[in-house]
Structure 1
Amino acid sequence: MTNSDEDLPRPTKKLLLPPPLDLLGVDELNAYIADLEAEILRVRQAIAAKAAHRDAAAAFFRTPPQT
């Protein structure tokens, strides 16, 4: 028997809670941008690694062409 909750889409999580920008100064805002850019780079690297693993698995399990 399956759980009906398993069939429902998972709610998206908000991973980053943005700070109230009105309370930050210019230097703090620039530092916040730098932190966000570093996080974006880290996420893009993780995506590239996952895509490479997926592509390698797809190539491994691909059926050879008929001759």
Structure 2
Amino acid sequence: MAELSEQKQAQRAMWAGGEYAIVAERIAGAGEAAVEAAGIGQGDKVLDVACGTGNVSIPAAEAGGEV
């Protein structure tokens, strides 16, 4: 359980730092991978809650999804 607590603290510090552009750049590949894994394509409806910098919504739109 301590390991999860440490991960939560690290995530909190990362997002609280306000360096969203840097964080977005570092995790951009994860959004693209999520869109590919979900099989999002032309005409699929996509709701990206708390989209932040758009790391998932932008690739979803580029794949033809209606975001």
Task: Give TM-score, length-normalised by structure 2.
Answer: 0.28
Task: Give TM-score, length-normalised by structure 1.
Answer: 0.28
Q: Which has the higher contact order (CA 8 A, sep 6+)?
A: 2
> Is the helix fraction higher in 1 or 2?
1
Instruction: Answer with 1 or 2: which has the greater Rg.
Output: 1
